[in-house]
């Protein structure tokens, strides 16, 4: 059987944190640039598409997971902790 290896596992994503009990998500390009509202990366010269949410803590992860269960707007995202591969 052939093993498929994904060479670059980084991708456009949101970095999620909790601030005063509220979920805050900031979009980032694969290259690491923080994105503006138009999701265009000046460094890469491309429009980014964030389909992953990277959570800074377990509490943030649990909040995102609860939103994923309640809202169809969150259901298409993949989610993980920042220190996971």
Residue-level pLDDT at 74: 87
Check: CB of residue 65 under 8 Å from CB of residue 79: yes
User: Given 3-state DSSP classes, what are the helix, strand and coil percentages for the chain, each rounded to the nearest 5?
Assistant: 15, 30, 55
- What number of other Cβ atoms are within 10 A of residue 75's Cβ? 10
**pTM above 0.85?**
no
CA angle 6, 56, 35 (to 5 degrees): 70
Amino acid 29: pLDDT: 97
- Residue 34 phi, psi (nearest 5): -80, 135
Q: Which two tokens stand for residue 69?
A: 């269960």
* pLDDT by residue, tens only, the chain of 85 residues: 544 444 445 799 999 999 999 999 999 999 999 999 999 999 999 999 999 999 999 999 999 999 999 998 888 899 999 987 6
| 3-22 exposure pattern, b = at least 16 Cβ within 10 A, e = fewer | eeeeeeeeebbbbbebeeee
Each domain of the chain, given as residue ranges in start order, spans: 13-81
């Amino acid at each position: 059987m052939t093993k498929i290896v994904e060479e670059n596992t980084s991708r456009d994503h949101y970095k999620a944190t909790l601030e005063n009990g509220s979920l805050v998500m900031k979009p980032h390009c694969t290259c690491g640039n923080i994105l503006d509202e138009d999701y265009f990366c000046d460094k890469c010269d491309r429009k980014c598409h964030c389909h992953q949410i990277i959570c800074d803590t377990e509490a943030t992860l649990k909040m995102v997971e609860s939103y994923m269960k309640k809202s169809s707007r969150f259901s298409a995202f993949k989610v993980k902790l920042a220190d996971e591969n």
